[in-house]
Amino acid sequence: MAGSGVPQPKKPNKPVRPTAESPRKPPQVMHITRKEEQELLNQKSKEDTSISKSTVNKPSSPKYIESPEPLNNPEGSRSLINERDVSMEGLENLSMADLLGSPEDLRGLKTSNFNQNQENKNRVVDDFDFDEDAFLAALDENEPVGNTGEIAKGAVIGVESDGVYVDIGGKAPGFMPKKECGLGVITNLKEKFPKGLEVEVLVTREQNADGMVTISCRALALRKSWEKIQKLEAEGKVVQVTINGFNRGGVTCDLEGLRGFIPRSQLEDGANHQSLVGKKIGVAFLEVNPDTRKLVLSEKRAAIASLFSNLEIGKLVEGQVVTIKPYGFFVDIGGISGLLHHSMVTNGTFRSLREVFNQGERIKALITELDPSRARISLNTALLEGPPGEILNEKEKIMEEAEERAIKARTMLEQEEFKKRQDQEKKD
């Protein structure tokens, strides 16, 4: 009743309807009983025990820890502690000072190590059982034989249709192709290179992966030919050659295995140069160039070279003044021309060369320099003078007494030449 004092009971709440979503699962909790926990602890204890036993009772040879003596502990300790007999509990009772030892022991240990290092530093090569002869022999054995451009000697060990094999002392024999077996055409290799024949060859290619080098007799012969021809050119020699061909510009010949060319302008009979084939003529050198393999010869210069062969330094010659230049006189000496430089005319002073000699005048002079390779002759009249400038006033007298005066001048030239050779020997 509304007016009564009796309290009214509360109405129960309406039940909440579940939503469409699936209900949450309660968190999964691993329940470990005390029994299972005890079993896990026992298993872990057994594993730790087995590991410690395997470490202590290791079957390998015992290791020793060296400790300086005496150890700083009250009871004392052995100098060597067997690692096998040391347990983990024993190590826990030792301090760092017990393991390292006293400072005096540490200083003694450092001193001994220092002395040992010094001993090793002071050791010489002989202390290491070093055999120098064996070392050098090993180097020689492994050194490659035959660098490009080197001359090698060896014996023929085999002949094939395409070349020859020569033992030159390397890991593998040297191979010489057929075209490199010599100058000219070789038809029978076995006949020219029998087994055991000693030959001298030039290395043209260094060794390949198999250790074989390429060698050549032809290249070596050509090198020697060029060297010989260069020497002949420097000496101004005249050589005899046989004409073996011709073309529009001149004729060809063979000299020391090399092909030489003679231009038509350098022939005595250039108009009929084809008629010279098969004939032998004397020639001198115009150009010798091994790099470009150029060999040019001259028949006309051979006549000049033959005149040079009769000349020498200090010889008195007579010639005719053919040309007057600002720097001197050109004098014709029997078909060749010599230069009388203005500094070699007199020891005196003059204003013009024409004050001394005129064109067409015959004079006598001394040869002071000869260069056959360039066909040059240097002349001197100042050496025939007595007092400086005598030739300006007493030219006829000097020319009449030239033979007697030349003897004295020749002695002076010989002394100067001897002094030059001595100076050159000292430099060498």
Question: CA–CA separation, 365 vs 235, rounded Å?
Answer: 24
Band (pLDDT 50/70/90 cuts) for residue 304 is confident
Confidence of residue 24 (pLDDT cuts 50, 70, 90): low
Residue 276 lies in a domain: yes
Write the CATH number for 417.
2.40.50.140
Task: With respect to residue 19, please indicate whether it lies within any of the assigned structural domains.
Answer: no
Pair 283, 363 in one domain: no
Which of residues 343 and 16 earns the better pLDDT score? Answer: 343
Residues 316-343: b if buried by 16+ CB within 10 A, e if exposed: bbebebeebeeebbbbebeebebbbeee
Domains held by the chain: number = 3
What are the two backbone dihedrals, phi and then psi, of residue 227, each rounded to the nearest 5 degrees?
-65, -40
pLDDT score at 425: 80
Task: Tell me: pLDDT of 320 over 90.
Answer: yes
Please check whether residues 212 and 241 belong to one and the same domain: no
The yes-or-no verdict on residue 62 having pLDDT over 60 is: no
Q: Are residues 324 and 405 in the same domain?
A: yes
Give the pLDDT of residue 41.
Answer: 76
pLDDT at 121 over 80: no
Mean pLDDT, range 236-261, rounded to an integer = 92
How high is the pLDDT of residue 61? 45
321 and 364 inside one domain: yes
Mean pLDDT of 245-258: 92
Confirm whether 393 is domain-assigned.
yes
pLDDT of amino acid 119? 58
Query: So what's the pLDDT on residue 97?
Result: 54
Structural domain includes residue 209: yes
Residue 132 located in a structural domain: no
CB hemisphere CA count around 171 (13 angstroms): 12
Pairwise pLDDT comparison (403 vs 93), residue with the higher score: 403
Q: What is the mean pLDDT of residues 289-316?
A: 87
- Which of 253, 288, 305 is at the close of a domain? 305
- The mean of the pLDDT values for the chain is 77
The answer to whether residue 413 is domain-embedded is yes
pLDDT of residue 70: 45
Question: Measured between alpha carbons, how far is 84 from 77 in angstroms, rounded to an integer?
Answer: 16
Question: Which residues have CB under 8 Å from 353's CB, separation 6+?
Answer: 324, 326, 328, 329, 342, 345
Least confident of 42-56, 142-156, 241-255, 281-295: 42-56
339 and 390 part of one domain: yes
pLDDT at residue 63, as a whole number: 43
Contact present, 305 and 370 (Cβ < 8 Å): no
Q: Model confidence at 39, in pLDDT bands (50, 70, 90)?
A: confident
* Domain extent at residue 148: 141-221
316 shares a domain with 405? yes
pLDDT at 5: 52
pLDDT on residue 50: 59
The candidate with the shortest Cα–Cα distance to 183, out of 223, 123, 149, is 223
Judgement on whether residues 343 and 401 belong to the same structural domain of the protein: yes
Residue that is last in its domain, among 266, 283, 305: 305
Q: Tell me which DSSP letter residue 26 carries.
A: P
Full DSSP string of 114-164: HHHHHHHHH--GGGGT--HHHHHHHHHHHSPS--TT-EEEEEEEEEETTEE
**Residue 296 shares a structural domain with residue 319:** no
119 lies in some domain: no
Looking at the fold, whether 372 and 275 belong to one and the same domain comes out as no
- For residues 50 and 414, what is the distance between their CA atoms, to the nearest angstrom? 111
Shared domain for 325 and 393, answered yes or no, is: yes
Q: What is the pLDDT of residues 132-176, one digit of tens each?
A: 676 666 555 555 556 788 888 899 999 998 899 998 887 778 899
Tokens linked to 78? 């052995």
pLDDT, average across residues 35-58 = 64
207 has a pLDDT exceeding 90: no
- pLDDT tens for 369-412 read 888 777 789 999 999 998 898 998 899 999 999 998 898 888 88
Determine the pLDDT at residue 198.
Answer: 92
pLDDT exceeds 60 at position 108: no
Phi and psi dihedrals of 379, rounded to 5?
-115, 160
Are the CB atoms for 252 and 259 separated by under 8 Å? yes
What pLDDT is recorded for position 169? 80
Assess if residue 28 is contained within a domain: no
Tell me which of 250, 271, 305 is where a domain ends.
Answer: 305
277 neighbors 243 (Cβ within 8 angstroms): yes
Are the CB atoms for 380 and 368 separated by under 8 Å? yes
Residues 363 and 393 in one domain: yes
From residue 147, give the alpha-carbon distance in Å to each of 142, 144, 170, 305, 353: 14, 8, 11, 41, 60
153 and 214 housed in the same domain? yes
